[in-house]
Structure 1
Amino acid sequence: MIQATPSYAMSMFRLPQSLIKEIHRLCSRFWWGGNEKKRKIHWCTWKHLRKIKCDGDLGFHDLEISNRALLTKQCWRLSKTPNSLAERVLKSCYYKEGNILDATSKPNGSYLWKRLIWGKGILDAGVRSRVGDGKSINIYRDKWV
């Protein structure tokens, strides 16, 4: 439950490392027990607990990876809904031509914009273009060339 609580905030903002460490600490304290006065034995590492359930482990999430994935999902959603209010506002502020996949980080960008660009890094590494009708092809910029 504690890992599901920050999901909405993670889809819009990058959580600070200190908060991520605190949430991981709370999860491990709950899982292994103990309190401020008494600590119990940790039978396995936190890294082992984060492995996926298919491998027979508990499948706790790494919140930093989940945070970046949710921000990447927001970028993808913005690129696929060009007439949404959020897309129109961001387009007018940060990229006049093209879409969010063509946008770059701005030094005077808002907190939200910098975090979306951080999440967009995954899209930059993996998104490929289709030729389609050929009207939107830029041979100098597109990754499929």
Structure 2
Amino acid sequence: MSGQSINFEKSMVCFSPNTPIPQRATTNELLNMKVADNLDGCLGLPIPVGKKKSNAFRSILNRMASRINSWSKRLLSSGGKEVFVKSILQSIPTYAFSVFLAPKGVVEEIHSMMCRVWDIQLFNVALLGRQVWHLIHSRDTLCYKVLGAKYFPDGNVFHPKNSDKPSFKWQSIAKAASMLHEGFGWSVV
């Protein structure tokens, strides 16, 4: 547990149009949160993410391009450029990459912006790996309970059940879990 708690005055709940009205009322009564018709975004990402996943990352790409343009007017040594790329640019997509697996086109666009100084896809998978780690080791969290009930009811993140329309968040975590699982090995101490 992080020690943080939910601020119900700042929190909202958004229901799918397919959610029955009695279920909405019960959930709303239980959570005691404001009901939103749509969520404009959370920390720079649109919610929900639509079919065109790359659109969710457009604001991040624009912010990175803007930051590069503002810094390109300065004369920086190669060391200064590396510090800029790794400290300033790396911080912009961090939250989005810890939540969603970036589409290949987005990764390629960021790669070209950063002149391939930094392996952004590996960074994206590493941040999602932290989500997998938390799902393995923090079974009492709301995230584990919600995702576990829907996608891995047996408690094993690495062997999820098939789902008709998994969320983009779960698809991202499952892909990262699969990539991490391939790299696991045994160590006898």
The answer (yes or no) to whether the contact 1:105–1:117 under 8 Å persists in 2 is no
- The answer as to 2:95 corresponding to 1:8 is yes
Q: In structure 2, give the amino acid aligned to 1:12.
A: V
Count residues in correspondence: 100
Cα distance between partner residues in 1 of 2:183 and 2:112:
32
Q: What TM-score does the superposition give when structure 1 sets the normalisation length?
A: 0.60
The answer (yes or no) to whether the contact 2:99–2:128 under 8 Å persists in 1 is yes
Cα distance between partner residues in 2 of 1:114 and 1:61:
24
Deviations 1:31-71, CA, capped at 9 Å, x for gaps? xxxxxxxxxxxxxxx4xxxxxxxxxxxxx321111111211
Whichever structure has more strand as a proportion of its residues is 2
Larger mean CA deviation between 66-75 and 94-103 belongs to 94-103
Q: What TM-score does the superposition give when structure 2 sets the normalisation length?
A: 0.47
Q: In structure 2, give the amino acid aligned to 1:66.
A: F
Higher relative contact order (CA 8 A, sep 6+): 1
- The answer as to 2:84 corresponding to 1:27 is no
Gaps of 5+ in 2: 1-87
Label 1:127 to 1:24 Cα distance change in 2 as closer, same or farther (>3 A).
closer
Label 1:129 to 1:21 Cα distance change in 2 as closer, same or farther (>3 A).
closer
What are the equivalent positions in structure 2 for 1:14-93 lying under 5 Å apart? 14-28=101-115, 46=116, 60-93=117-150
Q: RMSD value over aligned CA atoms?
A: 2.2
Whichever structure has more helix as a proportion of its residues is 2
**Identity score, percent:** 28
Aligned with 1:113 (options 166, 170, 188): 170
